[in-house]
Chain A
Amino acid sequence: MFVHIDIDCFFVSAHRIKDHSLRNKPVAVGGRSDLKMFAKNRTELRLVDDNSGAFVAPLFQNREKKDFNSFFLDERQRVRGIVTTASYEARKYGVKTAMPLAQALGFCPQLTVITPEYALYHKLSKQLRELLASQIPLIEQFSIDEFFGDLSGWVEPEESERFAWELKDLILRETGLPVSIGISPAKWIAKLATGRAKPYGVHMVRKEEISAFIKGMPVEIFPGIGRQFAKKLYDHQIFTLDQIKARKKLFYSWKKPGIQIYNRVLGIDGEGIARKTPRKSIGISRTFDGIREGEEIKRRISIMARNIVFMVRKYDVNPTVYELQLTYDYGHKAKMRKNINRIFSERLFKKILFTMYEQLHTHRNCVKIGVSVSNFSDRGLKTLSMMELEEDMKYSKLTKEVQNLRNRFGIDIIKTGNEL
Chain B
Amino acid sequence: MNFKIQKQIFESVLTNIQPFLEKKDQTQITSHIKITSKNNHLFLEATDNEIGLSIQNVGLEVGDDFTFTVNGKKILDIVRILKEGFVDVDFENDQVIISQESSRFKLPTFEADSFPPFPQIEDKASISLDSSKLIEGFKKITPAIDTNNPKFELNGALVDIKADKTSIVGTDTRRLAIKTIEGANDQELSIIVLKKAIMEIQKLFLDEIEMFYDENNLIIKSNNYYFFTRLVNGKYPDYERIIPKSAKHELTLDKKEMVDAIKMITTISQEIKLTIASGTILFESLAEDNIEAKTSINIDGGLDQEFTMAVNSRYILDFLNQSGSETFTLQLNEPSLPFVLKNEDFITVVMPIVL
Contact = CB atoms under 8 A, between A and B. Distances in A.
Contacts of A341: 173-174
B338 interface: yes
A340 to B, nearest CB: 11
B349 A383 contact: no
B354 A384 contact: yes
B352 interface: yes
A341 B172 CA distance: 11
A318 B336 CA distance: 14
A359 to B, nearest CB: 12
Contact of B349 (A343, A384, A386): A386
A385 B173 contact: yes
A383 B174 contact: yes
Interface residues of B, number: 21
A360 interface: no
A377 B354 contact: yes
A387 B353 contact: no
Kindly name the residue among B171, B271, B352, B354 whose own CB sees the greatest number of chain A CB atoms within 10 A.
B354
Interface string B309-339: 0111001000000000000000000000110
B355 interface: yes
B174 A384 contact: yes
A385 B354 contact: no
Nearest to B154: A387
B353 A386 contact: no
A378 interface: yes
Interface string A326-363: 00000000000000010100000000000000000000
A387 B351 CA distance: 10
B242 interface: yes
A386 B242 contact: yes
B242 A381 contact: no
A378 B354 CA distance: 7
A381 B349 contact: no
A389 B338 contact: yes
Contacts of A387: 171, 173, 237, 242
Contacts of A381: 271, 286, 310, 312, 353
B219 interface: no
A382 interface: yes
A244 B237 CA distance: 59
Interface in B154-182: 171, 173-176
Interface string A365-378: 00000000000011
B173 A386 contact: yes
Interface in A216-262: none
Contacts of B351: 383-386, 389
Interface string B337-355: 1100000000001011111
Contacts of A384: 174, 351, 354
A386 B338 contact: yes
A385 B286 CA distance: 20
Nearest to B269: A381
A98 B173 CA distance: 48
A406 B176 CA distance: 38
Contacts of A377: 354
Contacts of A343: 354
Contacts of A382: 353
A342 to B, nearest CB: 9
Interface in B231-247: 237, 242
Nearest to B151: A387
Interface in A375-420: 377-378, 381-387, 389
A386 B175 CA distance: 8
B286 A386 contact: no
Contacts of A318: 354
A385 to B, nearest CB: 4
B84 to A, nearest CB: 49
A205 B3 CA distance: 84
A77 to B, nearest CB: 50
A378 B337 CA distance: 16
Nearest to A382: B353
A383 B353 contact: yes
A80 B126 CA distance: 74
Contacts of B242: 386-387, 389
A385 B242 CA distance: 11
B225 to A, nearest CB: 35
A322 to B, nearest CB: 14
Kindly name the residue among A341, A343, A377, A381 whose own CB sees the greatest number of chain B CB atoms within 10 A.
A381
A382 B352 CA distance: 9
Nearest to A343: B354
B146 to A, nearest CB: 11
Contacts of A383: 174, 311-312, 315, 351-353
A386 B176 contact: yes
A385 B174 contact: yes
A10 B31 CA distance: 67
Kindly name the residue among B174, B237, B338 whose own CB sees the greatest number of chain A CB atoms within 10 A.
B174
Contacts of B338: 386, 389
B158 to A, nearest CB: 13
A382 B173 CA distance: 12
Contacts of B286: 381
A300 to B, nearest CB: 27
A341 B353 CA distance: 11
Nearest to A381: B271
A153 to B, nearest CB: 24
A386 B173 CA distance: 6
Interface string B10-48: 000000000000000000000000000000000000000
Contacts of B354: 318, 343, 377-378, 384
B324 to A, nearest CB: 25
Nearest to A390: B241
A384 B338 CA distance: 10
A87 B311 CA distance: 57
A378 B353 CA distance: 8
5 contacts: A381-B271, A383-B174, A386-B173, A386-B174, A389-B338
Given A377-B354, A378-B354, A381-B353, 5 more contacts: A381-B310, A383-B312, A383-B352, A384-B354, A386-B174
Interface of A: 318, 341, 343, 377-378, 381-387, 389
6 smallest CB-CB distances across A and B, nearest first, come from A385-B173, A386-B351, A381-B271, A383-B174, A387-B173, A386-B338
